[in-house]
């Protein structure tokens, strides 16, 4: 149990990296939250820092004339970070800057008061816990707490006897350690939430059997790619693949072997496509590849390469080796295609003609002439 707890603690303090997209979304979400904190919450906290001059009055009424201008000055400086564009900083960096200004106002006010650190040390270190909310990284945490801590040590060294100074520093460091663990726990919970969101998004947009995009996500991406092709005059190609005589494979070898064939085809497609291409399972044994920036010759070459790759695939089963082939229909976007359904219909028509012409071949929608006329298998 102790070993398990140690591993959990290590995971909290040093989490494994998220997938790039999830990391970006988590960072953007945090920046949005910090922008709201800087613009809506920080002004209220600034007003509270100034109102604490009442506490100064009860501690040392003779020094209020000194502490009030200090509080007002640093709160006024903090206002530079309330809105974006005033300082060349991101939202998280602006929150760190605001924390510095508020901390400076409190620390310098306590320094000016007689025995201010004795009575106000708790207020000084309380601000450390706000850092747990405004940063997600160890580097950001150290940056946020370093300047206030240095200012506190410099002021307390002048004002406090050595034993009390040492006690104050230990108290401050303990507060920073607790705040760091709190920050790590908040980060861990946020990252766990991001991983859950990533998994839910993956399940909503990917086929469970192959891990490729599902039909709904393909339709969304296709509409986007068609809009880009139309706006910028770029070529766009669509391939529709279908496994030849797939029902015979299921009837002969069983549905589990049929699933293995589908997964093998999906893996081969994934390996052959570029990172900018979109590949998905459209339904059953049908697959669709969306190829941006791809003209006719490149689309036909890609389709023929895929056909040959599938022809070489072998799937082992209890009843022997399974071979399979695919037929492929190719369609190219032009202004006559009003929407994605029209373009997809051309690819589907070309696929149907490829099946009629003997299977295991590529057919172009424009002329429906086979590019590869191999014998039927």
The predicted model gives 90-114 an average pLDDT of 94
Average pLDDT over residues 179-193: 89
- 201-216 pLDDT, tens per residue? 888 889 989 999 999 9
**Distance (Å, rounded) from C-alpha 351 to C-alpha 240?**
7
Q: Give residue 375's pLDDT.
A: 35
pLDDT at 17 over 70: no
- Dihedral of CA 88/94/97/102: which sign? positive
CB 101 within 8 Å of CB 144 = no
Confidence band, pLDDT 50/70/90 cuts, at residue 15? low
* 305/215 Cα distance (integer angstroms): 24
CATH topology of domain 215-364: Alpha-Beta Plaits (3.30.70)
- Percent pLDDT > 70 in the chain is 92
Question: 9-13, 19-23, 41-45, 172-176: lowest mean pLDDT where?
Answer: 9-13
Mean local confidence (pLDDT), 130-147: 91
Among 184, 216, 154, residue whose Cα is nearest residue 15? 184
The CATH 3.30.70.270 domain(s) of the chain lie at 215-364
Q: Is residue 270's pLDDT more than 60? A: yes
Which of 23, 164, 285, 316 is catalytic? The answer is 285
pLDDT tens digits for range 21-30: 778 888 888 8
Nearest Cα to 198, choosing from 26, 363, 72? Answer: 26
Tens digits of residue pLDDT in 315-355? 998 888 999 999 999 999 998 888 999 999 999 999 999 99
31 is catalytic: no
Residue 268: count other Cβ atoms within 10 Å of its Cβ: 16
């Amino acid at each position: 149990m102790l070993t398990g707890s140690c591993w959990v603690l290590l995971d909290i303090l040093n989490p494994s990296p998220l997938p790039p997209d999830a990391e970006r979304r988590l960072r953007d979400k945090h920046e949005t939250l910090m922008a709201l904190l800087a613009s809506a919450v920080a002004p209220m906290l600034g007003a509270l820092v100034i109102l604490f001059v009442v506490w100064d009055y009860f501690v040392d009424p003779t020094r209020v004339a000194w502490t009030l201008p200090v509080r007002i000055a640093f709160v006024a400086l903090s206002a530079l970070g309330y809105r974006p564009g005033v300082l060349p900083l991101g939202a998280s960096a602006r929150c760190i800057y605001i924390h510095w200004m508020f901390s400076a106002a409190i620390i310098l006010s306590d320094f000016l008061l007689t025995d201010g650190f004795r009575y106000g040390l708790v207020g000084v270190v309380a601000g450390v816990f706000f850092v747990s909310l405004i940063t997600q990284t160890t580097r950001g945490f150290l940056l946020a707490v370093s300047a206030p801590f240095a200012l506190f040590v410099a002021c307390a060294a002048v004002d406090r006897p050595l034993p009390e100074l040492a006690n104050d520093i230990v108290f401050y460091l303990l507060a920073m350690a607790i705040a760091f663990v709190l920050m790590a726990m908040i980060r861990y919970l946020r990252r766990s939430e991001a991983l859950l969101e990533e998994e839910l998004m993956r399940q909503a947009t990917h086929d469970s059997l192959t891990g490729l995009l599902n039909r709904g996500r393909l339709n969304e991406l296709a509409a986007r790619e068609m809009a880009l092709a139309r706006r910028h005059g770029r070529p766009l190609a669509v391939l529709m693949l279908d496994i030849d005589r797939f029902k015979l494979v299921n009837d002969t070898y069983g549905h589990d072997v049929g699933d293995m064939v589908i997964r093998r085809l999906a893996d081969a497609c994934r390996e052959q496509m570029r990172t900018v291409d979109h590949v998905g399972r459209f339904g059953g044994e049908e697959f669709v590849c969306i190829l941006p920036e791809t003209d006719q010759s490149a689309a036909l070459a890609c389709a023929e390469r895929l056909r040959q790759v599938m022809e070489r695939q072998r799937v082992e089963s209890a009843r022997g080796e399974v071979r399979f082939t695919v037929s492929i229909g190719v369609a190219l976007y032009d202004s006559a295609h009003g929407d994605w359904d029209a373009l997809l219909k051309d690819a589907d028509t070309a696929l149907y003609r490829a099946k009629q012409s003997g299977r295991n071949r590529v057919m172009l929608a424009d002329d429906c002439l086979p590019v590869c006329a191999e014998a039927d298998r």
